[in-house]
Structure 1
Amino acid sequence: MTKASALTEETAHRTLVAVCEQVGLDPAGAELIRIGSNAVYRLAKPVIVRISRDSETVENARRQVAVARWLASKSYPATRALDVDQPIELGGHVTTLWESASEREEYAPLTQVAELIRRLHDLDAPASLALPQSQPFAKLDEYLPDLELVDLSDAVFMRERIGQLRSRYDALDFALKPGVIHGDANVGNVILDRDGDPLLIDLDSFCLGPREWDLVQTALFFERFGWHTEDEYRAFVEVYGFDIMTWPGYPVLAEYREISMTLWLSQKGVSDERAAAEVHKRIEAIRTGGSRRDWAPF
C-alpha cells in the first residue's frame, strides 16, 4: 500500500488531475467544494470527485459504490456512482466519482427526508452486498486520541462517559425491526436535484442495524438544538410513522450523537483553536446538562 501524503489542497488537486487522466475526464475548472474527511470537487462536467485522506478507507469506498449501484437497480433516489472502474487508489488516497445531481446545495424539506428514510427501510439488501453490522462505538474509539491532543482532562471525562453510554446502549430494547440503514440520516444528507426531487447522499455509513439510528438526528436537531420547528418534526413523524422520542432508548442514542459530533470536531481542534474551544464548550454542556442551542456549526 502506498503511503498517503497529507490531504492538502495541493495534494488533493494533484490526485484529482491524475485520477481524471486515468478515467478520461477533464479537471480544468474543477471547483473544490470542501476539504475535511474528504476533498470534494465538482468538475466542469457534472461529476463529483471525492478524495479520501488515506487508503485505509478503500473497503468502505468499494462498499459505497456497490450500495449506490444496488440502490440504482431498485430505482431508489440516491447519489449515483459514475460508470467507471472505481474506487481508484493513487498516491495513498482513495477516490470515488459520482454523478453531480445539482450545481447548488439545497436541502429537502423534512417530509421528503422522512419519505426517503421510510422507503430505504422498506428495502432488503442482498447478501452479496455484504453490509457490515452497525458498530457505533468503534467510531468513538477512533476519535478519542485526537481529543487527548486537544484537552487531556476532557478526554478522560469523555472516555468514562462513553463507557457508561456503552452499558446503557447494550441494555436497549429496540422498537423497530433492524435492517438496512443509512447510518447518518438527517436533513444535511438529503439534497434536491436539478428537477427539485430529493436525493439521498453520503453513503459512507451504510450498514445493517437498528432503524432508530436513522431517526435520532432529526429528533435531536428539533428537541435539543432547535434547528427544526415542532411543526416540521411532527410532519416528519407523520410521514415516517414512528416517533423515536416516545421510545425510552431515545436519550441514549441522542447522547451518542452529541458525543460523536463533538469527537469528530476534535480532529480539527488539534490544529484549529476555534474548533478546540468549541469542543471544550460542547463537552461542558454534556458534563453539566447545559444548553446545546449555542453549538456552532462546523
Structure 2
Amino acid sequence: MEPAELRRAVAAGRATAAEMGFQVDDAVVIHNSDRVALRLVPCDVLVRVAPPGHLTDSEFEVEVARRLADVGAPVAELDPRVEPRVYVRDDFAVSLWTYYAPVGPEITPAAYADVLERHHAALRQVDLDAPHFTDRVAAALREVTDRERSPELSDSDRSFLSDTLGGLSSTISGDKAGDQLLHGEAHPGNLLNTKRGPLLVDLATCCRGPIEWDLAHAPEEVGEHYAGADHDLIRRCRALNWAMFSAWRWRQDDHMPDRGHWRVEGLHRVRAALDRCGA
C-alpha cells in the first residue's frame, strides 16, 4: 500500500482491535503488499487489513481458516478471543489472527514436504467452492494481452508471455481428475516456523488444481520428499508460475519494490524454467 493508504489501514486495524477490547499501544507492520499484516502490542494480535473492494476475498480467507482449523490442518488460526469473522472499518476489511513468533532453525525440505502433505490431506476433508488455479492464469494473461494495462511490455516479450501462459495452462489443466483444494501460493514466505511447528499462512490464495502447483512454489528440493509427486509436472507448473509473476510485474499499476529489476529477471526465470522442462 502507498504511505497514505497504509496509515489509514493501520488506523483501521488498531481501532478494530481496540473495539474488541484488546489493549493496543503500538502496531508493527510485518508485511505490506496488496494487504497489510500488523502485530499489535501488548495484546499480541495479528491483524490483516485488506483495502476497499477486497471484502469477499477476506471473508473467503476467514472461512478457509475456520474450516481447516476444524480438521487440524497445519495453518495459522484466527484469534480465538473474538468472533471468527471479517470486520469493516473505513472501507477496509479487517480480520484478527493468532500471532506466532518465528523460531529457528530453518525449515528443512523434508519438513516442508511433510507440512504440504498434511495440509493437502486436511484440504481433502474440506468442501469449499474455490476457483481453479487457471482462473488466476487467465487474469495474468489479460494483463499481458491488454496493451493499456501493460504498455511498456515489448511486442516480442508480450507474445512470449502470452504463448507461455496460454500453452502451459492448457497443458497442465488438461486432466483435472487429480485436482483438489490447494494452498495456492505455498512459497517460503507463507510458511512460518513456530513453537507449534511449521504453519502455512495467507489462506486467501486457496484454489483447486494438482498438488504439483503448490510444490512448484516451494524450493526445488521439497518435491523430492513429497510422496508420489510428478516431477515433470512440477517443472511445468514452476515455469507457469514464473510467467504469472512476470506478467504482474509489467502491469502499469504494479508497485513491487525494485520492479525494474524483477521485470527483467522474471522473464529470464521464465525462459530458464522452460529450458528445464524441455518446452
Judge same fold: TM > 0.5, yes or no.
yes
Would you say 1:11 and 2:11 are equivalent positions?
A: no
Residues 277 and 192 of structure 1: CA distance in aligned 2, closer, same or farther (over 3 Å):
closer
Would you say 1:279 and 2:263 are equivalent positions?
A: yes
- 1:170 maps to what in 2? 170
What amino acid sits opposite 1:20 in the alignment? A
- 2:93 maps to what in 1? 94
Q: Write the deviation string for residues 203-261 of structure 1: whole angstroms up to 9, x where unpaired.
A: 1211222222111123xx44xxxxxxxxxx1xx3453113433x2x4443222111222
Would you say 1:185 and 2:156 are equivalent positions?
A: no
Distance, in Å, in 1 between the alignment partners of 2:252 and 2:167 is 29
Return the offset for 1:125: 4.0
Distance, in Å, in 2 between the alignment partners of 1:37 and 1:155 is 28
Residues 155 and 54 of structure 1: CA distance in aligned 2, closer, same or farther (over 3 Å):
farther
SS in 2 for 1:95: strand
Normalising to structure 2: TM-score of the pair? Answer: 0.80
Number of aligned residues: 268
Residues 58 and 147 of structure 1: CA distance in aligned 2, closer, same or farther (over 3 Å):
farther
| Equivalent pair of 2:164/2:243 in contact (CA under 8 Å) | no
- 2:115 maps to what in 1? 116
Return the offset for 1:269: 7.4
Distance, in Å, in 2 between the alignment partners of 1:286 and 1:119 is 30
Distance, in Å, in 2 between the alignment partners of 1:89 and 1:61 is 10
Match of 1:54 among 31, 52, 55: 52
Would you say 1:35 and 2:21 are equivalent positions?
A: no
| Equivalent pair of 1:48/1:100 in contact (CA under 8 Å) | yes
Distance, in Å, in 2 between the alignment partners of 1:7 and 1:143 is 26
What amino acid sits opposite 1:59 in the alignment? T
Q: Cα RMSD over matched residues?
A: 3.4
- 1:226 maps to what in 2? none
- 1:212 maps to what in 2? 212
Distance, in Å, in 1 between the alignment partners of 2:255 and 2:147 is 11
Return the offset for 1:130: 2.6
SS in 1 for 2:240: helix
Where does structure 1 lack aligned partners over 5 or more consecutive residues? 223-232, 293-298
Residues 270 and 80 of structure 1: CA distance in aligned 2, closer, same or farther (over 3 Å):
closer
Q: Write the deviation string for residues 156-212 of structure 1: whole angstroms up to 9, x where unpaired.
A: 7336522443134213455982112111113322211135x1111111211222222
- 2:227 maps to what in 1? 241
Distance, in Å, in 2 between the alignment partners of 1:276 and 1:237 is 31
Distance, in Å, in 1 between the alignment partners of 2:71 and 2:156 is 46
SS in 2 for 1:102: coil
Return the offset for 1:142: 6.2
Distance, in Å, in 1 between the alignment partners of 2:184 and 2:160 is 24
Residues 214 and 282 of structure 1: CA distance in aligned 2, closer, same or farther (over 3 Å):
closer
SS in 1 for 2:97: strand
Residues 201 and 162 of structure 1: CA distance in aligned 2, closer, same or farther (over 3 Å):
same
Distance, in Å, in 1 between the alignment partners of 2:106 and 2:150 is 33
| Equivalent pair of 2:151/2:252 in contact (CA under 8 Å) | no
Residues 19 and 168 of structure 1: CA distance in aligned 2, closer, same or farther (over 3 Å):
same
Distance, in Å, in 1 between the alignment partners of 2:147 and 2:224 is 39
